[in-house]
Structure 1
């Protein structure tokens, strides 16, 4: 499948200037901005959506879970279905599907329609990240792959800095439907950018579908997917319900929470950059250290979340640690899945969102529990991350042998 692109691009990319390659990666970055805003905007608007659609916070939280499950199913499925097309054609088709889903969300009159719209948009999300990862990383030298992915992924972190806070504010002032129209406009702009900036390559793969799916039989590939699921699952156990947590536990106003989400976005951008550099340096060692720091920060949040100052500091550190692991996890799966990198990257996107869905579901159960409640989601998230640490140690041990 997309290993065809890897074979083809080695002849085409070197002929292009460094500037044109940079603009091509920026086109992918704009796309990830739109995808990131669509995925995370609902988190800041959970109370508004729940009130307007007359559902509970936990039910509204399933809009996050449903989106993540859509990625889990859609990422490998659409990667397989579109395997005979050029990478550029696939990226454009996925953006068209994504736009359709967000148009439907922008006009959704009820909860079920909004959930369906989220799932449609999510189907395109994971496959786009899988193929986009291959496109971005194969434009550069092998020792710069993590940095190239981090550049592409900067769109997602910028969505947390700019898109989600501004979209949350817009949704609070003009209704929760309004940010989805902004996402539609961004996705159309991304569509045009990819049309003009990314060249078309031909399908030249001779490997069969069964051969590519054999990557799932590699122990290190499976461990890499589990590292992603649990390593990032703890993040969404907490982050899905960060708005009600900061309002009800810490005592911040909705406006203050919007500003804190901006700070989280700044931190996530720093973490993404740091993670990319660290992955190019010492991949597994850096990943292990980052996961340990993430678990400690999540556990401490149980205590620091009761004070406004310490809560803000913890949120900032949480953003850095959470997003530092993303480029590391993506490069790990590409390293261990030679011959089917796009399919592996799509599965990894699915693994990220399986962690997101599981974390959101688990957090919803904890938040709704009379015995535990919102305050417990932080230490429960830390426990999930510890499982990711143990899997990482197992994978490192296999590397040594």
Structure 2
């Protein structure tokens, strides 16, 4: 939220007033120093091939594929929101950072709500988020010139897109409870690669075929993420039923 707010105030030639943010930054730093716990971990010997060993879990590859498709689809569109707003919606220079601020605020709200939703409906939530985001991408194709509709749709996009990583980090923690550090590193690599691929491919499509094709590609990738996540949930439920039957036998 700080970047669009700063951009807006800078455009209004009030940049010097941003000095009031310096005490807030210092306060945040002091707060972190006091509140964050020390991270002490036992120095256990690392096992050779620890990353490859994780792929013995058949659900891991499926989950990482779903996660990768989600982030690729998200950033295929979101990386090029600014040129879309400037050229298609024709937002004014002072209005653009306000829309980006609305996206940031919605994302903050999403992070506050997502834990409760995940606790109630974990896999349905992971499936629904990319489905709704794909619907948003499709709706933007039709309503891209209407500023009010675009603002609402992109705010909803921000709410969902910012909340989704919490779900995937929860998934990796549940899938690899004994290898959280290695699994987390693998997840970071997949996410970063997916973001880079999505941004690059989205830019190539944006330059060569236009914004319609970029947004359509984003929607297709997000639909793929939802489909793979559904397959993942079915597979995990099947494993759970098998385990229950073996315990009852």
The two structures have a TM-score, normalised by structure 1, of 0.52
Residue correspondence of structure 1 range 203-218 to structure 2 within 5 A: 203-206=42-45, 208-211=47-50, 213-218=52-57
8 Å contact 1:249–1:375 — kept in the other structure?
A: no
User: Whole-Å Cα distance in 2 between the matches of residues 321 and 234 of structure 1?
Assistant: 13
Task: Give deviations 1:364-395, integer Å, cap 9, x for gaps.
Answer: 012111xx212332222101111111211221
Q: Which residue among 276, 293, 302 is the counterpart of 2:115?
A: 276
Note the alpha carbon deviations across 1:222-253, whole angstroms, 9 max, x for none: 22211111112211111111111001000101
State how far apart, in whole Å, the 2-side matches of 1:276 and 1:343 are: 23
Which residue of structure 2 aligns with residue 373 of structure 1?
210
Mapped contact 1:216–1:222 kept (Cα < 8 A): yes
Which residue does 1:233 correspond to in 2?
A: 72
* TM superposition shift of 1:191: 9.1
Deviation at 1:172, TM superposition (A): 6.0
**CA shift for structure 1 position 210:** 2.7
Deviations 1:177-214 (A, max 9, x none): xx9xx99x969x75993487422424243552434541
Whether the 8 Å CA contact 2:127–2:227 is kept in 1: the answer is no
Three-state SS of the structure 2 residue aligned to 1:217 is coil
CA deviation string 1:148-180 (max 9, x = no partner)? xxxxxxxxxxxxx2x221343477689xxxx9x
Specify whether residues 348 and 256 from structure 1 end up closer, same or farther in structure 2 by C-alpha distance, changes over 3 A only. Answer: same
Counterpart for residue 319 of structure 1: 158
In 2: Cα distance, 1:260 partner to 1:328 partner:
26
Does residue 333 (structure 1) correspond to residue 160 (structure 2)? The answer is no
Structure 2 residue runs of 5 or longer lacking an equivalent are: 239-249
Q: Across the two proteins, how many residue pairs are aligned to each other? A: 231
2:188 aligned residue (349, 368, 371): 349
Q: Is the 8 A contact 2:5 2:98 kept in 1?
A: no
1:391 corresponds to 2:228: yes
The aligned counterpart of 1:363 is 202
Retained in 2: the 8 A contact 1:366–1:377?
yes
Change (3 A) 1:186 1:376: farther
User: 1:360 Cα shift?
Assistant: 0.7
* Structure 2 Cα separation of the partners of residues 386 and 326 of structure 1: 17
| d(CA) in 2 for partners of 1:374, 1:191 | 44
Contact persistence 2:11–2:94 (CA under 8 A): no
> Which residue does 1:295 correspond to in 2?
134
- Structure showing greater Rg: 2
SS of equivalent to 1:313: helix
How far does residue 325 in structure 1 lie from its aligned partner after superposition?
Answer: 1.7
C-alpha distance in structure 1 between counterparts of 2:103 and 2:138, whole Å:
18
In 2, are the aligned partners of 1:232 and 1:355 still within 8 Å (CA)?
A: yes
Change (3 A) 1:256 1:340: same
The answer to whether the 8 A contact 2:126-2:226 is kept is: no
Are positions 1:222 and 2:54 aligned together? no
Q: Which residue of 1 aligns with 2:237?
A: 400
Distance 2:193 2:91 in 1: 30
Question: Aligned match of 2:95 in 253, 256, 260?
Answer: 256
Provide the aligned C-alpha RMSD in A: 2.8
Q: Secondary structure at the match of 1:255?
A: coil
Give 5+ residue unaligned stretches, structure 1: 1-160
